Structure 1
Amino acid sequence: MVEQSSPSLVVFDIDGVVRDVGGSYRRALADTVEHFTGGAYRPTPEDIDKLKLEGIWNNDWEASQELVYRYFEAQGTKQSQERDTATRSQLQLNYDTLVAFFQSRYRGTDPENWTGYICDEPLLMQPSYLEELTAAGIPWGFFSGATRGSATYVLSKRLGLKSPLLIAMEDAPGKPDPTGLLAAVQQLEQQFSVNPDTPVIYVGDTVADLYTVIQARKCEAASSKSLKSQRCWIGVGILPPHVQKTQEQSDAYADALKAAGAAAIFSNVQQLTPVQIRQLVDSESSSSV
């Protein structure tokens, strides 16, 4: 096949970008922490954001476990004069049991017909937006830390997409490991026969998403035969709905995304239009020369 010219490949995260998970994944996370701390602690949205801003807690099951651990560790520290500090091994928290509880809230208790929080997730992207990218000659796909079942539910059942390119939890290590993003890019290159140096935009809503772009850039540069990778890697940040309640929250979250490497930040993914994509690529390409 003849290699085609495209302004950019665009890969989207799903949670916080394609769908609002404030009342689903995050609610299930808070339910889980509350359950496994015996009702003593329910993390606030700010608590969850603070953890995720560390850049390594993209997996909400692991984030739930970590918050449970930290709660009991903090209690042990406060009561150190009365008893020894509780260690993680002493807590004997069963990860599989925690995951099962989380899923019972997020998906529901029926494995065949989901009735949980996932059913009520507001969409942040419409199929017409993706059609606009396609019409502009911009290949797109998805790389998400969500399970394949959860990701497919929103992409196929809710958006009506037919077999979209998807790299999900089961397909690659968790972010910020760049393996999944690199795999998505490689598949897009093969599927659309685009030039191998076509710029890549990864669109995400967390610090971990943006760290993934940095790691992908480093990984490709290290494997490149030239001293410098020819490809331009661009991270775009999206403000999830739950941080847009006040200007102060929005600004603080945007600052964190910028500090993590976001070249641009939008309040909704559909603001990343084909025109914006071309301008962003032109700006980042010229600045890297």
Structure 2
Amino acid sequence: MRRLAAYVALTKPRIIELLLVTTLPTMLLAQQRVGGGFPSLWLILGTLLGGTVAAGSANTLNMYLDRDIDAVMNRTRRRPLVTGEVTPRAALVFGIVLGVVSVAYFWVFVNVASALLTAAAILLYVVGYTMLLKRRTPQNIVWGGIAGCMPVFIGWAAVTGTLDWAPVALFLVIFFWTPPHYWPLSMKFRRDYAAAGVPMLPVVASDLRVSVEMVAYSVAMVAASLALVPLAPMSWVYTVVAGAAGAWFCWSVVALLRRARRPVAGRKLGEMGVFHGSITYLTVVFAAVAVDPFLPL
């Protein structure tokens, strides 16, 4: 059981949960373009299963490549490749097998478009983010975050076999959401990242600059969420929920900016509150995406 738990930990289940939160609502919205109602239950389950395996592959290969960094950082030094519960070779084989199985699964049981997008998502995360960007640029999570946006394309393509402007808007919501989601965590663990030589923006820039950029990304994120209204189209319910959730999250980021601008000795910056708030924001907005197709315009 310990060995099984170690392999499960390699896939980073908590991150996979967040990816699935964006996939299912996208599929429900996409179904409205091909006749309305609900997608086939088997299609939903199959897409979520394939997406889970694909994300597990990308996360496992990420841990394999980052095992030297993980050994240095307090936050990650208990991961299976650091503790020795799983050998590097076993993790590499496991990650590759998961990737091949996920792409083949989508190709055979869903459609070619979703299979190609799944392969692209894995490569973007493993090669683009982990191998090329993470250790080289403070903008690593910005461009590397594209991989985390791919589930909306995969979910849409699984239902329709193609892409449209609506999933592009959802893609941009997640793209602009990623920096204000991940940078607060990097602010909290900046010493870890600095010790590991990873140039996350909060490691190489001041809290004030990071906060300013977070505000800009948050505003763009809300704009992208509202751009979905004419593209889908969405009802007033989604419009109100997305606008209110966006205003609430932007307020929390602006509050972080104010604290960074006027630091007070002994007062916490509150970055983890923004981190957890970002998860709440994304969940609320995509819950509205899931419900809205079944409401009158």
TM-score for the superposition, normalised by structure 1: 0.29
Specify which structure has the bigger relative contact order, considering alpha-carbon pairs within 8 angstroms and separated by 6 or more residues.
1
Per residue, is there more helix in 1 or in 2? 2
Per residue, is there more strand in 1 or in 2? 1
